[in-house]
Chains A and B, each alone.
Chain A
Amino acid sequence: MTSQVSRTTEQADGTVVGEQRKPGGVKAVRRLDRVIIRFAGDSGDGMQLTGDRFTSETASFGNDLSTLPNFPAEIRAPAGTLPGVSSFQLHFADHDILTPGDAPNVLVAMNPAALKANIGDLPRGAEIIVNTDEFTKRAMQKVGYDTSPLEDGSLDGYSLHPVPLTTLTVEALKEFDLTRKEAERSKNMFALGLLSWMYHRPTEGTEAFLRRKFAKKPAIAEANLAAFRAGWNFGETTEDFAVSYEVAPATTAFPVGTYRNISGNLALAYGLVAASRLAGLPLFLGSYPITPASDILHELSRHKNFGVRTFQAEDEIAGVGAALGAAFGGALGVTTTSGPGIALKAETVGLAVSLELPLLVIDVQRGGPSTGLPTKTEQADLLQAMFGRNGEAPVPVIAPRTPADCFDAALEAARIALAYRTPVMLLSDGYLANGSEPWRIPELEELPDLRVQFASGPNHTLEDGTEVFWPYKRDPQTLARPWAVPGTPGLEHRIGGIEKQDGSGSISYDPANHDFMVRTRQAKIDGIDVPDLEVDDPEGARTLVLGWGSTYGPITAAVRRLRAAGEPIAQAHLRHLNPFPRNLGSVLRGYDKVVIPEMNLGQLATLIRAKYLVDAHSYNQVNGMPFKAEQLATALKEAIHD
Chain B
Amino acid sequence: MTDAMTDATDGLLQLVPKAEAKQSMKDFKSDQEVRWCPGCGDYAILAAVQGFMPELGLARENIVFVSGIGCSSRFPYYMNTYGMHSIHGRAPAIATGLATSRRDLSVWVVTGDGDALSIGGNHLIHALRRNVNLKILLFNNRIYGLTKGQYSPTSEVGKITKSTPMGSLDAPFNPVSLAIGAEASFVARTIDSDRRHLTEVLRAAAAHPGTALIEIYQNCNIFNDGAFDALKDRQSADEAVIRLEHGQPVRFGADGARGVVRDRLTGDLKVVDVSAENESEVLVHDARSPSPTTAFALSRLADPDTLHHTPLGVFRSVERPVYDVRMSEQLDTAVEQHGKGDLAALLAGGDTWTVAG
Contact = CB atoms under 8 A, between A and B. Distances in A.
B247 to A, nearest CB: 35
Given A256-B357, A270-B346, A318-B93, A329 B98 contact: yes
A183 interface: no
Interface string B7-37: 0000000000100000000000010100000
B305 interface: no
Contacts of B310: none
A4 B257 CA distance: 89
Contact of A325 (B62, B85, B95, B330): B95
B355 interface: yes
Contacts of B327: 309
A485 B62 CA distance: 9
A327 B77 CA distance: 20
Give the contact-size bracket for chain A: 35 or more
A499 B343 CA distance: 41
B355 A307 contact: no
Interface string B331-357: 101110111110110111111111111
Residue in A323, A326, A328 whose Cβ sees the most chain B Cβ within 10 Å:
A328
Contact of A494 (B17, B30, B94, B331): B30
Contacts of A613: none
A510 to B, nearest CB: 15
A282 B5 contact: yes
A443 B345 CA distance: 11
A322 B93 contact: yes
A172 B352 CA distance: 32
B61 A495 contact: no
Contacts of A444: 343-344
Nearest to A307: B6
A303 interface: yes
Contacts of A309: 100-101, 327, 331
B126 interface: yes
Given A304-B334, A309-B101, A329-B102, A485 B1 contact: yes
A284 B328 CA distance: 12
A442 B353 CA distance: 13
Contacts of B61: 486-492
A270 B343 CA distance: 9
Contacts, number: 221
Contact of B341 (A307, A351, A490): A307
Given A59-B353, A325-B66, A284 B86 contact: no
Interface in A239-272: 251, 254-261, 270
A324 interface: yes
A331 B61 CA distance: 17
B142 interface: no
Interface string B214-225: 000000000000
B76 interface: yes
A497 B86 contact: yes
A348 B5 CA distance: 24
Residue in A255, A256, A329, A485 whose Cβ sees the most chain B Cβ within 10 Å:
A329
A330 interface: yes
B348 A258 contact: yes
Contacts of B348: 258, 260, 441
B98 A258 contact: no
A424 interface: no
Interface string A407-450: 00000000000000000000000000000000001111000000
A282 B101 contact: yes
B250 interface: no
Contacts of A496: 76-77, 83-86
Given A59-B353, A270-B346, A274-B347, A487 B104 contact: yes
A492 B76 CA distance: 11
Nearest to B73: A496
A305 B82 contact: no
Contacts of A291: none
Contacts of B32: 494, 506-507
B80 interface: yes
A325 B96 CA distance: 7
Interface in A49-83: 56, 59-62
A303 B97 contact: no
Contacts of A333: 97
A445 B30 CA distance: 46
Interface in A302-341: 303-309, 311, 313-315, 317-318, 321-331, 333
B227 interface: no
B159 interface: no
B101 A331 contact: yes
B105 interface: yes
Contacts of A488: 1, 61
Interface string B314-337: 000000000000010011011101
Contacts of A261: 350-351
Interface in B85-117: 85-87, 90, 93-102, 104-105
Given A59-B351, A318-B126, A322-B96, A486 B334 contact: no
Contacts of A328: 64, 84, 94, 98
A259 B101 contact: no
Residue in A60, A254, A494, A506 whose Cβ sees the most chain B Cβ within 10 Å:
A494
B285 interface: no
Residue in A56, A59, A311, A351 whose Cβ sees the most chain B Cβ within 10 Å:
A311
Nearest to B355: A254
B337 A325 contact: no
Nearest to A442: B347
Contacts of B350: 260-261
The 9 closest A-B pairs by CB, nearest first: A496-B85, A322-B97, A325-B97, A306-B341, A321-B93, A304-B334, A325-B94, A318-B93, A494-B83
Interface of B: 1, 4-6, 17, 30, 32, 59-66, 76-77, 79-87, 90, 93-102, 104-105, 122-123, 126, 327, 330-331, 333-335, 337-341, 343-344, 346-357
6 contacts: A59-B353, A259-B355, A260-B353, A325-B99, A329-B101, A355-B84
